Amino acid sequence: MDNNAKEIHSVLNMTANLLKNASKGENEKKVEVSFVKKEGSITIDSKKFMDEKGNFVLDETKLKEEQGRLLVKSEISRQISKEERISLAREESGVSKLFKNAILNNSMQKVEEDWGGFSEELKAYKNTIPSNIEVNKNSSDDEKLNAIINDWLFQDKGIVNYNDSNIEKHKEELFSMLDELAKNINANASSRINYAKDTWQKIKEKFREFKSEEDQQEDQQEDQQEDQQEDQQEDQQEGKPEGKPESKPEGKPEGKPEGKPEGKPESKPEGKPEGKPEGKPEGKPEGKTSEDPFDKVDKEPEGILKDPTAKKEVKANNDPFEINEVIQKFTRSKSPRLYKKATLKLRKQIETISNAFAFRNVTKDKQVHGYKSGLLDQGGLHKIAYQDISIFDYKDSPKNKKVTIGILLDQSGSMQNGNRMEQAREVVIAIIEALKTIKGVDIVVYGHTGDCNSYHDLNMIPYIDKKAGHNNNELLAEANPINENLDGFAIRFISNRMLDTNPVNHDSLHALFVLTDGVPYAAGYHNEIAFNHTKDCVSEVIKKRQKFLAIGIDNAFDNKLGDNIFGKGNYVVIDNITSSIGILTKEIKKLFSK
């Protein structure tokens, strides 16, 4: 080590150990500072001090930068325990990032308070922080978190550009959440990581709220543009019957006023003014709902469910009561605008999910045993002794199977909690669009709620059911929380609709996906009664050789509740389709490999 390197090491070693020695005395174990990475030591950024030939150069500015960094690093190492480092390695990146940066914030404040003489060094260190961070409304939660943390830590630098996201106008609210986190972490020796977890969940909810605002603003802009285009088209259409726009305006004032003024005023003022106030205002409110079918959905959820078809009373042996199956009719006008927007937003997830449906790529035949007819299975002849005649098998060829996929969307009132409904809609749309890329797949999609008109009504909302003549998939973009939910009955209903579409046999494959928050609730249908009934109905589906997977949206329930309602191995819980796409596709692949 040359003289420059020794001097650099000596200065930085002393700097890094100042806080420890001052706070706890000379007998405390010192911080090791090294030019090479070692476990338990603080590594010097040696590249700062090397010239092009690799020789150490003593640069006062770089030395101050590194002193500031090592002072903060030393304080951080003192504040985070080994146990916390191990725990953080198992947490989400957002939790770890929040915890470590709250410690960083506290460490910088601590250094500034205790070692004001190093203010230049701290300032030099802060100047090394990148100053070109950019995010937008399509950035991931982690990217947005990184931006807001850096903005919070170095508020005087103005290092973040939020572009078209709505974070800028809400950042003070986020800053206060980070201030609270730093305060709690500073004041509590235990449960500090839990504070970071809670803060991460709150921040993610805020990001979703901001995204909803951004989408609403974008919708309003699109509506304005559409209105302008419609106005222009109407103006053009009004001008066409009169011919050329230049010659007619001049001819109208001269020729028409003389013959018409006297005849028209008598009939029009009396007939029209009375007709307009009475007829139009009453008709307009009903017509208005079809002008903007998407913008008012959350305020008027009943708009979808105004015209039920005839009820059908149903009861099975294990049902707690007789149910009235009610197929709802849509009364809103169709518009593909929001659905198309959703498919564009989800195009990456759609491609990923499409690849996860492994049944389309399986070409290898396999022998399936345990049937009462087919090819004789010589290995199963011993069953005859037990009067069991399931001694036949058949050759299963997945490539040629007729595939039927069912999707059931929970539209109960509890789906309005957090961002569950939006996340559920996105998963349903992504699965539908992914399946459209695969030939020979029939899709059955229903939403469900309950007790909309009377107790024990199972209200089924048909989105796709070609056998029954329903093709309303575009209206999934306006699916919203409505009322109660009778999950078991709804699962049985869509299972039967799938069977009506295609029977289950050697040449077919059925799979049912249920998007839910995992909490069945209606009059006389809750807690153990609802849980057990739903679990029984799931078992019925599986016994009919239909594959089943419940998808818990927005981390809506834990494994204990999932086991109680759907049965172990029959569900997956995800956060959202963007952050949890890997988990979702893994479960889809697993489902079709069973």
Task: Return per-residue pLDDT of the chain as tens, 594 residues.
Answer: 677 777 777 777 776 666 544 444 444 456 667 766 666 667 777 777 777 777 777 777 788 888 778 778 777 877 888 788 888 888 888 898 999 989 888 888 887 777 666 777 777 777 777 667 888 888 888 889 988 998 898 876 667 888 888 888 888 899 999 999 999 888 776 788 888 999 998 998 888 888 777 777 776 676 677 667 766 766 676 664 444 444 444 444 444 444 444 444 444 444 434 433 343 333 333 333 333 333 333 333 334 454 455 566 777 778 999 999 998 876 555 566 788 888 988 988 998 998 888 555 444 445 555 655 555 566 666 666 666 666 565 544 455 678 999 999 999 998 988 889 999 999 999 999 999 888 889 999 999 999 888 889 999 999 999 998 898 888 999 899 999 999 999 999 999 999 999 999 888 899 999 999 988 999 899 999 999 999 999 999 999 999 999 999 988 889 999 999 999 999 999 988 888 898 999 999 888 877
Regarding whether 566 and 431 lie in a shared domain, the answer is yes
* Residue in the structure block whose two tokens are 């982690």: 142
Range list of β-strands (E), 260-330: 312-314, 323-327
Closest of 446, 350, 404, 409 to residue 550, by C-alpha: 409
In degrees and rounded to multiples of 5, residue 80 shows phi and psi of -100, 125
Provide the residue type at 57 as one letter: V
Provide the residue type at 242 as one letter: E
Domain extent at residue 501: 335-360+405-593
CA 265 vs CA 129, 256, 269, 277, 286: distances in Å? 77, 14, 6, 18, 31
Token pair recorded at residue 484: 């109660």
Give a yes or no: residue 115 inside a domain. Answer: yes
Give a yes or no: residue 239 inside a domain. Answer: no
For residue 510, give the H/E element and its range.
strand 508-516
Regarding whether 201 and 342 lie in a shared domain, the answer is no
What's the pTM value of the predicted model, to 2 decimals?
Answer: 0.49
**Residues with Cβ within 8 Å of residue 44, at least 6 apart in sequence:** 8, 9, 12, 33, 34, 35, 66, 70
Residue 546: beta bridge partners? Answer: 510
User: Which residue, 155, 180, 209, sits at the end of a domain?
Assistant: 209
Give a yes or no: residue 545 inside a domain. Answer: yes
**Residues with Cβ within 8 Å of residue 254, at least 6 apart in sequence:** none
Residue 412: beta bridge partners? Answer: 483
Residue 329 is predicted with a pLDDT of 76
Give a yes or no: residue 444 inside a domain. Answer: yes
Tell me the C-alpha distance between 274 and 287, whole Å.
20
Residue 26 is predicted with a pLDDT of 46
Number of H helices, E strands in the chain: 17, 16
Give a yes or no: residue 91 inside a domain. Answer: yes
User: Which residue, 187, 209, 231, sits at the end of a domain?
Assistant: 209
Residue 314: beta bridge partners? Answer: 323
Token pair recorded at residue 262: 């006297």
- Cα R_g (the chain), whole angstroms: 33
Residue 43: beta bridge partners? Answer: 34
CA 380 vs CA 372, 386, 390, 394: distances in Å? 11, 11, 8, 13
Question: For the domain that residue 454 is a member of, what is the CATH number?
Answer: 3.40.50.410
Residue 208 is predicted with a pLDDT of 81
Q: How many domains does the chain have?
A: 2
Give a yes or no: residue 254 inside a domain. Answer: no
User: Which residue, 159, 185, 209, sits at the end of a domain?
Assistant: 209
Give a yes or no: residue 35 inside a domain. Answer: yes
